[in-house]
A = this chain, B = another copy of it.
């Protein structure tokens, strides 16, 4: 979390005094010197509510301090026409259920949300959410107000949160430089540079989906441009290239094409190869730019990448400078479709972990210990 050792020690002591974690001696570590104590979260003492507004569903969950999803509610969401009011209403209903069903001894220490669009840091404003047609919608403030739990909702972009979740608890554990790609209708990116999420001047960095790689002959993109990475490798590119009808969409449709390709169907195989080549071109660019230790594929790219891996690897061998690909690893994400939700939960826990006593004081419940 970018905290230094003395801050961690102080926070751990406070969490331990409050009964939220216990410290125990580790087993034989095989290393010299006095081993650090292992900090384990005490189950059932503190939780957050985590929300996920994805392209095809809304999810809410109660997540404990160890990152375990204890209870979840989920609803499919119409692809278009979901306005702020309807989305917030569904999440509020789920959130209240989760709050009521929390065990008596557990305190809600934070609220975090993931959203499939560009988020203004600080107030959770959705600046641009093309999948739902949102521009400048006060999502975080509105969800916080309706939940009425006396806490703000911290909102992040889904691919940013997926990257952070995979770095803390998934395929990229402990890596200081990684690229996480989240595919759905479009392709979002979360890029960890030197241990920290690349946010840029206004918090709007990592927009890998709109890196143009085919400017003159490319497919039109939802952003108004042409030949964007997400136009060439997003859901519609694969389904169109495979000749699937325009009314098919979503993860099941993607998996059907991939399954057909694996079985040797020529049209599906050709589609996976052609879209896989564009995927490789984009991934190679990102490796040249970021020299990451790992590229992680999430969302529908979890399904596409394994079938297209050889094509992607060929592009990397051709397009990436040798010294930048010496140690590169490519993986599908460990946390599956929960990567973004787990990332939202981490947002909710951030305040507690950086300042335990003040956060617990604000919960109005100092009696946890």
> Chain A residues in contact with chain B, CB under 8 A?
118, 127-128, 175-177, 189, 191, 193-194, 196, 198-208, 210-217, 223-225, 228, 281, 284-285, 288-293, 318-324, 326-327
Contact = CB atoms under 8 A, between A and B. Distances in A.
24 contacts: A128-B322, A176-B201, A177-B200, A193-B198, A193-B200, A200-B290, A202-B326, A202-B327, A203-B291, A204-B291, A205-B289, A206-B289, A206-B291, A207-B288, A207-B324, A210-B319, A210-B321, A211-B285, A212-B284, A214-B215, A217-B217, A224-B318, A225-B319, A228-B319
Contacts of A216: 214, 217
Given A203-B291, A206-B291, 15 more contacts: A128-B323, A175-B201, A177-B205, A191-B289, A200-B291, A200-B324, A201-B327, A202-B323, A202-B324, A207-B291, A210-B319, A211-B285, A212-B284, A212-B319, A225-B318
Contact of A201 (B208, B217, B292): B292
Contact of A212 (B203, B217, B281): B281
A320 B201 CA distance: 14
Contacts of A208: 288-289
Given A128-B323, A201-B177, A212 B213 contact: yes
A212 B214 CA distance: 9
User: Which 8 pairs across A and B sit closest by C-beta, in order of nearness?
Assistant: A200-B291, A205-B291, A207-B288, A201-B293, A127-B323, A204-B291, A211-B285, A210-B288
A189 B281 CA distance: 19
A197 B7 CA distance: 25
A330 to B, nearest CB: 14
A70 to B, nearest CB: 34
A200 B292 contact: yes
B210 A213 contact: no
A284 B292 CA distance: 22
Given A196-B194, A223-B321, A321-B128, A288 B211 contact: yes
B291 A202 contact: yes
A128 B288 CA distance: 13
A262 to B, nearest CB: 26
A319 to B, nearest CB: 5
A241 to B, nearest CB: 15
Which of A176, A203, A204, A228 neighbours the largest number of chain B CB atoms within 10 Å of its CB? A204
Nearest to A130: B321
Given A118-B321, A201-B292, A281 B215 contact: yes
Contacts of A320: 210
A207 B321 contact: yes
Contacts of A217: 216-217
B289 A204 contact: no
A205 B228 CA distance: 22
Contact of A321 (B175, B193, B204): B204
A292 B199 CA distance: 9
Contacts of A176: 201
Contacts of A193: 193-194, 198, 200
A320 B191 CA distance: 18
Contacts of A285: 210-212
Contacts of A291: 199-207
Contacts of A202: 291, 323-324, 326-327
Nearest to A324: B204
B207 A199 contact: no
